[in-house]
Every structure is written in structure tokens, then in C-alpha cells.
Chains A and B, each alone.
Chain A
Amino acid sequence: MDWPDLSLLATLRGHAIFDALSAIEADTLAGAGSLLYLQDGAELFASGDQPDGFYVLLEGALKVQVDDHAVAQIGVGEVVGEMGLVTADRRTATVRAIGAGIVWHLDGRGFEALLSSGDPMATGILLGIARDLCRRFRAVVDEAADRVPTVAQLPGGPKLLDSLQWADFG
């Protein structure tokens, strides 16, 4: 694959999925994906779609929508659609471009081939995605913790805090 701008490749190589790979493996993996150019509002995938691999945002921004409500925003260097590597379940959210953008796409069938053959790249990719999820998870928990003292002082705040169901915090 030809890279129109080496800064895009640098952004991709900065993602955690490349951390556990050798330089040769990283080059191979980067070349195994494809670049998609998105226009403002373009749909990357829609709720109900069959998963087709995962994406890393290299330029621009993405919004994640559930029932037409924005629930999250994806920034440069972040991964989206990674559950497509884990289950065959249909997509549960719609992801659209905010402004023009560029994403790197790794096809799910290519990944399955790596996994089936016992290629260590599959382990490296999954470990990188897991670390990325951990980073996002910790950021969410940290923001929530920062909000707790203020919420606890507001009328109804303690009741809300009691009612929230948290996971194991990692």
C-alpha cells in the first residue's frame, strides 16, 4: 500500500497495536490494511451492519451514535469497531465522520487468517487493542471519580451515585 503522507503512517505506527510487533511485522501489518477517505457526515458503519474488521482514525474526528444520539467521539489515533474482531455480532452503533477524515481499515477476514495460523501478529494486535481499551476505561473511571465530590453535594446526588452500576474498574 502506498502512503500519501508519511505522517499518517507515523500516526498509525503510534497506536498500541504496533507496540508488541517487530519493525518488520509492523510494516507488514500497516501494509495489510487499507486507507479510507471520508467526507463530512460519511458513514463508516451503521448499527445492524455485519462487522468487517476494525479501524484506526488517522485524520479528522468520528462520532459514535446510538439511536441518533451521539454517545462518544473518536479522536486521531483511536481505534473503532474493534468488537468486530471479537464477535460476529452485528454493529450496535453508527459511526460517522465529523468533517473530512482518513481511517486505516484492517479487514476482519485477514485478521482471522492471522489468528488461525497462530501468527504472533494476531496476539500483538489483540494486546494492543486491549491496552487501548484499558486506557479508555481508565480515563472514563478517572473522569467519573473527579465528578463524584461535586455530584455528592448536589440535591439527589448521593442517590444517583448509589444507583449507578459500575464494573470492576480493571
Chain B
Amino acid sequence: MIDVDTIHDAESLVVLSAQEREQLAMLMTDARFRSGEMVLQQDRRAPAAYMLLGGALHVERKVEEHALTGRIEIGEWFGVASLCDGRKVTAAVHALTDVRLAALGRGDFEGLLGRDDGLGARLLRAWLRSLSFQLARVNEALVALRGFQGS
């Protein structure tokens, strides 16, 4: 479990009550990576969904000799899509500095969905918010690419 204070102010969990954050913190684990270490490998299933608590991450999807790069802000989740749909992540994530993450493992997530206290549904609601923001962000970038190509 992690200290609930570490996720207390997370904007991405604003739809959870204080009690629900405490319940979630009990399921999450502290994950630390050294600068340069790989957190997620492209084209593999994420073992957990992670919230960035401290440090800086680099996100990169290789396309031939080029790359699309991304960003993750403090308090944001990543690996969520892979946990929700069971598919592989579409980009690699590695630590630019020493980083600290809060991790919710795949098994704990699946257990949450089966609980009858509604916490799984409320976490999904929080993640939907994150996924929608991320979809809007990539949509804007795609529109810019289409416009640049004139199609």
C-alpha cells in the first residue's frame, strides 16, 4: 500500500471521495525507477496502471527512423488503456530522471471491478476522464498532421 497523502491532491482522482482514495491507496504499491530505466516497453501489455508522483518520464513511439514523443504530467495516469482493454501499450515509457510512481496491478484492478462497493466503477469514472482528455490531445495532434498534409 502507499500513503494516501501521495495521491490525495491528484487532479485525476478528483471524482473519488477521501474514503475512496484511502481504499485505492491500500491497493496501490510504490514503484521507483532509476534515471534511464524502462518503465513500459512498446508492444507489451502493461502489468499495471501507474500514476506519476515525482520525476520526469519520456514517452516514445518509434515509427521507422522517426518517433512520436509524449509527455506525462505529475498526477497523471499511464498504462490505463492497456489495463482496460487488455491490449499492448503503443509506446515505450522510460525514466528521464529518478521517478516515483503509484502502481495499481492488473490483478488488483480486475479484483476492484468485481467488488460490490462501487469503488471499481468510480475508479473507471476517474480513468474515463483521463482517457477523454488524452483522446482530445491526440485528436488535436492528428488534425494538425492532416492539415499539414492537406488531407
Residues on A close to B: CB < 8 A?
71-72, 82-83, 85-87, 115-116, 118, 120, 122-123, 126-127, 129-131, 133-138, 140-145, 147-152, 154, 156-157, 160-161, 164-170
Contact = CB atoms under 8 A, between A and B. Distances in A.
Contact of A169 (B15, B85, B91): B91
Main secondary structure on A side of the interface with B: helix
Given A137-B81, A161-B68, A169-B70, A144 B138 contact: yes
B113 interface: yes
Given A82-B128, A149-B63, A165-B71, 4 more contacts: A86-B125, A154-B148, A165-B137, A168-B91
- A-B pairs with lowest CB-CB distance, top 6: A170-B81, A169-B91, A167-B134, A166-B70, A168-B78, A126-B124
Main secondary structure on B side of the interface with A: helix
6 contacts: A126-B124, A140-B138, A141-B90, A144-B138, A165-B137, A169-B70
B69 interface: yes
Nearest to A93: B136
Given A118-B117, A127-B124, A167 B66 contact: no
A87 B25 CA distance: 23
